[in-house]
Structure 1
Amino acid sequence: MSTQKISDIDGVLEVSRSMRHVRPAHYIFKIKSFSLLSEFDVEKWESNDFDSGGYKWGLSLYPNGDEERNGNGHISLYLVIRDTNSLPPGWEVYVQFKLFAFNHIQDKYLTVQDVEGKTRCFRAMKTKWGFPQFLSLDSFQNTQSGYLLDDSCEFGAEVFVIKYDGKGECLSIVKEPSDNTFTWKIDKFSTITDINLRSEEFIVGGHKWQLLLYPRGPPKSNGENICLLLVAVDHAKLLPHRKLYVKFKLWVRAQVGHAHHEEEACFGFSTSSREWGFSDFMELSHLKDPSEGFLVKDTLVVEAEIMAMSVLRKFP
């Protein structure tokens, strides 16, 4: 067992670290393709709720560190109390907790807690406690350390009673999901007078998608470019605090030759953000140039390819 003092906005934290074989009692949070979280620039990921001691809790993970709490160069991990609206005015919940990271080489869990099991008070003004310097990124990303195996890792939590409830979730970043390409042919392009056009819906990764095209650019633009967007049709079904992270590519296909025009993006779709793409995807003058082969017999071929997306599954 080792101890460490860490300066935080709440003062100096005294942290104890040890290894144990016993799995976390209340919650396990597995992540596959961890490195792609950085590609999507995920500042933090909130776990699903879990129950312990008559309250609802969650984990808050900062894969690149919580800068506000001196977590640079580390993974930051916190315990968060949820569903506080149901609690009485002036509520306080006193907690002893441990947070975990699984070491695949040692087949043990790194156990991080306040020194001597210090009790923390959760209240309306302080709903999150944890460790901004939970685990250094240098150690975590070093394959010899054992915390990251085949780009997968596992975290956990214990709150109050040591009893594994068997509830959790698994976040995966799936590359090239099945049937991940959609082609949209637009006839009589030069005669279009509508401000925008929507493709038929298509399904990738269990979600409904659609392409949205502004033939002369979005409203109030100079009208010199086409605007092309990917739309998450069923975005309203996403949980309010969750995002659906997607890496995608949009194309205008050259029907003569192979000089296709393409743009690539990563975006987190949510209940409030249903579409993303490019307002200046391609110049109209370039599109209409007969020598480029994008418009053949006044038909335009547009394509979307979803290259990777986040998939969340509850277990068991």
Structure 2
Amino acid sequence: MEKENNKDKMFEKYTWTIKDFSKLGSHKLFSQKFSIDDHLWRILIFPKGLNNMNHLSIYLDGGASVGNLAEGWKKFINFKLALINQINHKMTKTRETEHQFDAKNIDWGFSQFIPLDELHNPKNGFIVNDTCIIEVEILVSKLKQENEVDKPDNKIKDILTKHIDKPLPKETFTTFGETLDLKGLGKIEQHFFPLLEQVCSKHPSLLNSQKKRTLEYVEWAFTALGRVLHFLKTKMVKDMDEDACNHLQILWEELETFKFDLTWLEPHVQSALNMKNYKERSVEVKKLKENVSSLEMETKMLEEKMIETKVNLEIARRELTKISEGFVEYNLDDGLAYGG
């Protein structure tokens, strides 16, 4: 375990080596507990996928000491989860997020971290000698924690309360086999909120379409919307390779299931999806432009050479005319005998 501390931040990396991975019988597995900032954490995985999603699911769990949490305990955490590639470290799969943990929201992570067939393919390097390695890097910003976690609920919650006729009922649902008391929209990643606030203000139908839905459903719906908006906000044209396009297509198809009016968003998504073809065509156009430029340069050189050759030809003609004056040509094969 690695640590790096200063007055305002605390960093820790914990590595979990899982041996005999193929022999795991459990659908849910915790790492050993590790401590940071006087709190116990664990890594939680679903090696056979969560809810039959056919993906490895990885989470950071803050509930290792949930029974001993002080009243009102909360902690804002920025963290990375990494699935180590043991053949080529540059191919390690890393996902980063942030979350405010409290007694009601003790775990956070990624349900679709990597497809199981990709994980188990021996050529990919994620499982070597039946061993899988997962790391978590945690950064606790004490200043951010003090300045942000005690702020009033985010504006998106106020917008939802304002636009939905009746307050959404208090819901309980099961996550990772534990019953959680869900209040607000705590499961929506915080960096989605500014994007959601902006589009909800411009497109009130997004809120109206979620009337009479359960809080759990609204949470899923706006998380799906936030993922697409965040993707479009953070990606650049150069990033849109085949994998990125496939990922965006999956996010878009998931979002469409929530029946939002997305006519305003669809052109942006389709434009992004077309960027792969644009990039391929752009490469072809660039090559052709370079070829045309090269031929134009070659043509210019040939034209200059032709002009020089014409000048030399004219000079040669004049010299020939001058030297030919009074010159009598003989047949060199004639004899030199004189006539008698």
Structure number with higher helix proportion: 2
TM range (shorter): 0.3 to 0.5
Structure number with higher strand proportion: 1
What TM-score does the superposition give when structure 1 sets the normalisation length? Answer: 0.38
What TM-score does the superposition give when structure 2 sets the normalisation length? Answer: 0.36
